[in-house]
Amino acid sequence: MMLEEHLGAQIKTGFILCGIKTKVYPIQLNEQIREETISCINRIIEDCDLSIVPDSDANEGKCSQCEFLNFCADRL
């Protein structure tokens, strides 16, 4: 969807890369996927505005290099 915005063209198929071996999952960018994605983005923005972060098994070893350390450092 970001590529669509950047190029000004509609993209019909996208790919999600996941896991250690980078498994590829093709997805069809239909209206349902677009609406769910926008809804998820809005929930993330709301959570950030409220400073809500998910529960975590955070510890210094895992967190020392985390890009979100500034958001959840109070848990350490």
Q: What confidence tens digit (pLDDT) does each residue in 43-59 have?
A: 988 888 887 666 666 66
Range(s) of the domain holding residue 6? 2-72
How far apart are the C-alpha atoms of 23 and 34, rounded to whole Å?
Answer: 22
Count structural domains, the chain.
Answer: 1
Q: What is the mean pLDDT of residues 20-42?
A: 92
- Give the tokens for residue 66: 């985390």
- Give the tokens for residue 72: 């959840």
Whole-prediction pTM: 0.57
Q: Residue 46 has what DSSP assignment?
A: H
